[in-house]
Structures are given as structure tokens and as C-alpha cells.
Structure 1
Amino acid sequence: MSFFRKLSRFFDNEHYKKNPVPQNLTKEQFTAINVGAINAEQTGYYCDSLTTGSDVDGIKENLADYYGIEDRESAVGTLQWLFGRGHRVFFDAIKDAASGKAGIINCDELEDDERERADEFLENLRGSIDELIEEKFLASREELALHSITAWDMGRFVLVTRCCFDAGYISEEEAWHCINSALAECRKFYSSWEELASDYVIGRAMWSGYGMTLIGIMTKAQNLLSDAESPWKRVQFGEAGK
């Protein structure tokens, strides 16, 4: 284990924050909320309710700064993009090149203004492969071609949905529709929290490259998978039901 990973674990204070007012979520709702568990651990949001438990003014500021969301129209547009396209279009374009299966990026589905960013994402991913393998989020470089980063986009989709609800940009009914749709989409690709965690981390590696932030995300994912108090230990990912 590297020095920086040890340092990340030392300062990591995850506690799976719970809403003090019981929400009586169904098992399916709880599972769906925790598609975004890694994001919730980053931000200190509740793991057991639709509302995040965070300050609304702070939520609005973060939505504006990080996602360009300032009202209902921009909220709906961003949520539609995250669910329908997101960063998956970039990963699908670069994964064969990153895995060594192909020599160049497949730009067929990219807009002209997205191609430069695809080059950046490819370098980020290539620079993270050794650490992804070392920490067992990836079996081999070649295996990248078999992955999806649906987990990365859907985790962010759940986070942004919850924030948009707290900000008053979307209704409770709309929020649950989005969050339940995220779970359904993930179940097309994953049968366990382990699989979801791996592809979330791979997506993050593509976006940010290797560094302390990625190490922190890996630690959060590993803790969610192993801690007895983790929300991921309360429900099986593929277990549909009430």
C-alpha cells in the first residue's frame, strides 16, 4: 500500500450519515439512493433519504458551479444529459485505445468539440491503469474494453437529482423517477455492488486522472464494500423488492 493511500485512510472519516427523521424507504428506494453512495460519502449527504440533509444555499451554489444548474430548465437539461449521454460517450470512444485493442480513438459518436477532451480522458485513463489494477478495480489493461462507466454517470445522476430536489428545481415524484431509473439502468450492466464500484472508479479515473483525489475515491469505494455499517451491506444490489 502506498504512502498516499495510507494517508488517505488515516484521514478518512466516513460514517454513512443517516437522516434523524426516519424516512421509511422501501428496500428498492434505499438501493436506488445508494447507487450514489460514493458521491454521498464525498459530500456528507444522508444515505437513507431523498433529501441530502445539506444546506440549500450551499447546494444551489454547488449545482451552479459544477453543473451549470441555476433553475428548473437547466436542471432538467443536465439530468437528461447525464442519463442519456454523460461521460459514457467518451469512455466508449477511448476504451479500445486505452486497453490496447485499437490504436486510435473511435470518434464516430463524438461531436467535433468533444474530440480534444477525449484525448485528455484517454491520457487520464492510461495514467491510472496500474493503480486500478493494484487496487483490484481492474483485472488487466486488456479488460478495459469490456467495461462500461454507467456507474460513474448514474452515481452522479443520483447526486444531482437529490440536489435538484432539495433546491426546489424538481418535484419529489420527478426525483424518485430519476433515481429509480438510475438503478434500473445500472442493473442492465451490474449484478453486484462490487461491479458497480469498479466501473464508478474507472469512470472517475478517466475524468480526473491519477492523484490524491482518485485515491480518496478508491478508499471510499473499498470502505463501502467492506464496512459492516455501509449501506451497501444492508441490501444486495440485484435484489429487487420492497
Structure 2
Amino acid sequence: MENGKTYGKQTPEEIARAAQEAAIKSAMEQAQLMLGNIPGMNMQDMQAQIMAQMQAAVPNLVDIQTQQATMGTLGDVDADTVCNTGMKNMNDAADITQSLMNLDFNADDFFDDNDSWEIKRSKDGTLNSEQLRLLALGAPILVYNDEYTDTIGHQEYVDSLKEQIRSWWEVTDRESAFEIVDWLLREGHHAEADRVLAAMRNGQETEGIDEDKVEDVSLITDYMLENSICDMNSVPHTAIAWDLVRIVNLGRWAFQCGYITEEDMWNIMCVADETASANFSSWEEYGMSFVLGRGVWHGDTDDCQTAYEIVAELLKNEDSPWLQLSWSD
């Protein structure tokens, strides 16, 4: 529809191009949700690599496009040809989507070491000070995902977001959202890690605790000590902040997906706030617990380093809600 006039249907070439672009758009949305706003990552370069690898995975892609282009407009093609071409385009799109799932990226190709994490603010004034403080509890993931730290906003890719929280936590409605909030509070990824931390702190044996978790906690605490992220006196006593940050964002995501009300969302954040206040006395303590928890999550020092970079920015950047809002307010 343009200027009130309705034009004819798309040509087979246009249909194929639209299917290809839709597949790429879906892949890029998934990449953004999974990878977040990684400093220095050039999404245009990533898209170029997707195209290159798609071409390798579907070698006849150009031939498909060229052949369809010679067919001209739909007005010059009989109905059977249009139908067959449409079916072929759908199959080609399916092949493209499958090839995207099998791509092998070298993430280092997309980084610029000179870039740093950005703390974004909308300055729309929609939240009061208490709401801003509650949202600040989820700030590390807001920064990671390149989202504003001062507004609940609206998720641009709601369908992709719904699929992500369904695949991560099987959250599909209000009941399942609150079940995961409860699980993150009681257990999540912190409960077993905290048992290890308590045993280490008290010089006790870790017998009876999951061996993999013992190794993960030892790996990450050693990394934090060796890289001066903390010292022996400031090793976090709990990894619960990792789960609290996720609770705040899960509440936000569930609201954006339409599974819960705004009141539900703030109530979820209040629960996270009560637990955070009972365990920490400052944003710094909270942040270091997040750093530990994210590292222990996969037993990955890279995850720990990423979390530390984000927390360090939140503790020094003048735009950070952690500097603008008192921990105890």
C-alpha cells in the first residue's frame, strides 16, 4: 500500500528475497538476545559473515535468485508456476534457516578492544526514585543487553523474548513466571555454590557437595583473587546476586511478554530487594556477588571477567544508577 494505491503481489524473486531477509533477521534477533551488547561487536560484520556462510551452506542461492528474476512479474506467470515457485521459496528458506543454526563463528573477529560497556539512560522520567532503585538491582543484565537502566521500556522482539524465556525456564504464563522466581530465590545457581563457599570459609571438607560445583567455585574464586577483583577479606559469601539480578529481569521480561501485570512486576522486584538487603550492605558487595555467581554459573572465567567489567562500570560511571541511588534508600 503506497499513497492509497494497492499494487500487485510480489514477484517470485521478491518472495525469495523476503524469505531470505526474514531468516537473517530472525537469526540476528536470536544473536542479540543470546549475546547481548558485547562491546566492540560489530553486528554488521556478523551479518556479513552470516551471508557468507549461508552462501556456503546453500551454494545455489544465487542461481535460485537469478532464475526467479528471469520469471518477471506474476502477471506473466501462470498460477501453477507461481504456486511451485512459492513452495520452492519456502523450502529454500527452511534450508537457509537450518544453515544458520549450524554456523561456526569466530567471535574474536567482531571485537574492538578499545570499546567499553555503555550505561544507557532514556531520561523519560516515567519511574520514581523507588522504582528506579528496584530496577537498578537488575542493572548488570540491562547493561549487558544494551537496554536503558531508567525505564522498563518495551522489548522490541517480543516473539523472540517469549521463545527465550520459554526455552530457558519454561515460562509461558503468570503461574510459570512466579514458579521460576520462587526457584531462583530458594535454589537457582546460588544454593549449591553457597554451600561450597561456606565450607571453604570455615575450613571444612566439601564431601557430599556436587564435585563439579566445588571445582567451579574454586576456579572462579581463584580467578577473582589472582586478578585482584577481590581479596581474601572480600570474597563474596554468597552467589545469590546472580539469581537476584535475573529475578528482576525475569519480572520485567514476563511483563513485556504480557504474562504478568505491572504490579506483579514491581512485587517481584520487591522480593529481590528484600533478599538483597538481607545479604548485602552496598552496591559493591552486591556487584561482587554477581561477578562470582555469573562465573560459577558455567564455571567460566570469561563469564566472570565479563561480569566484572560491567560491575566496574556500574561502580564508576556517573550515569550509573548505582552511583545515583543509595543502596539503603
TM-score range, shorter chain: 0.7 to 0.9
Q: Alpha carbons of 1:80 and 1:179: their partners in 2 closer, same or farther (altered >3 Å)? A: same
Structure 1 residue 212 displacement after superposition = 2.3
* CA deviation vs aligned residue, 1:112-131 (integer Å, no higher than 9, x gap): xxxxxx32222111112232
> Superposition RMSD on alpha carbons, in Å?
2.5
Q: What stretches of structure 1 of length at least 5 have no aligned partner? A: 1-6, 108-117
**Which residue in 1 is equivalent to 2:132?**
30
**Which residue in 2 is equivalent to 1:72?**
174
**Which residue in 1 is equivalent to 2:280?**
190
Letter in 2 for 1:164: A
**Which residue in 1 is equivalent to 2:59?**
none
Q: Alpha carbons of 1:136 and 1:159: their partners in 2 closer, same or farther (altered >3 Å)? A: farther
Out of 205, 213, 218, which is 2:303 matched to?
213
Moved more, 75-84 or 189-198: 75-84
**Which residue in 2 is equivalent to 1:112?**
none
Q: Is 1:10 aligned to residue 113 of structure 2?
A: yes
**Which residue in 1 is equivalent to 2:15?**
none
DSSP-derived class of the 2:137 partner: helix
For residues 112 and 285 of structure 2, what CA distance do their matches in structure 1 show? Answer: 22
Higher relative contact order (CA 8 A, sep 6+): 1
* CA deviation vs aligned residue, 1:204-223 (integer Å, no higher than 9, x gap): 12212233232111111111
**Which residue in 2 is equivalent to 1:110?**
none
- TM normalised by structure 2 equals 0.61
Out of 77, 87, 95, which is 2:197 matched to?
95
Q: Is 1:63 aligned to residue 165 of structure 2?
A: yes
Q: Alpha carbons of 1:52 and 1:122: their partners in 2 closer, same or farther (altered >3 Å)? A: farther
Give identity over the alignment, percent: 26
The 8 Å contact of residues 185 and 243 in structure 2, kept in 1 or not, is answered as yes
Structure 1 residue 224 displacement after superposition = 0.8
Q: Alpha carbons of 1:58 and 1:97: their partners in 2 closer, same or farther (altered >3 Å)? A: same
Moved more, 60-69 or 152-161: 60-69
The 8 Å contact of residues 38 and 217 in structure 1, kept in 2 or not, is answered as yes
The 8 Å contact of residues 119 and 319 in structure 2, kept in 1 or not, is answered as yes
Structure 1 residue 61 displacement after superposition = 1.9
The 8 Å contact of residues 208 and 214 in structure 1, kept in 2 or not, is answered as no
Out of 206, 209, 219, which is 1:127 matched to?
219
For residues 48 and 163 of structure 1, what CA distance do their matches in structure 2 show? Answer: 15
For residues 313 and 145 of structure 2, what CA distance do their matches in structure 1 show? Answer: 15
Structure 1 residue 168 displacement after superposition = 0.8
DSSP-derived class of the 1:224 partner: helix
For residues 77 and 11 of structure 1, what CA distance do their matches in structure 2 show? Answer: 41
Instruction: Please give the residue correspondences for 1:88-237 in structure 2 after superposition, counting only pairs within 5 Å.
Output: 88-99=190-201, 101-105=203-207, 118-140=210-232, 144=235, 147-237=237-327
Letter in 1 for 2:194: D
Q: Who wins on radius of gyration, i.e. which is larger?
A: 2
* CA deviation vs aligned residue, 1:61-82 (integer Å, no higher than 9, x gap): 2212222222333212111211
Q: Alpha carbons of 1:52 and 1:211: their partners in 2 closer, same or farther (altered >3 Å)? A: farther
4+ runs deviating over 6 angstroms: none
The 8 Å contact of residues 96 and 105 in structure 1, kept in 2 or not, is answered as no
Moved more, 94-103 or 38-47: 94-103
Out of 33, 42, 45, which is 2:144 matched to?
42
For residues 105 and 32 of structure 1, what CA distance do their matches in structure 2 show? Answer: 38
Q: Alpha carbons of 1:14 and 1:68: their partners in 2 closer, same or farther (altered >3 Å)? A: same
Structure 1 residue 100 displacement after superposition = 6.8
* CA deviation vs aligned residue, 1:32-53 (integer Å, no higher than 9, x gap): 1011111111112221122354
Structure 1 residue 98 displacement after superposition = 4.1
Letter in 1 for 2:132: F
Q: What stretches of structure 2 of length at least 5 have no aligned partner? A: 1-107
How many residues are matched?
Answer: 220
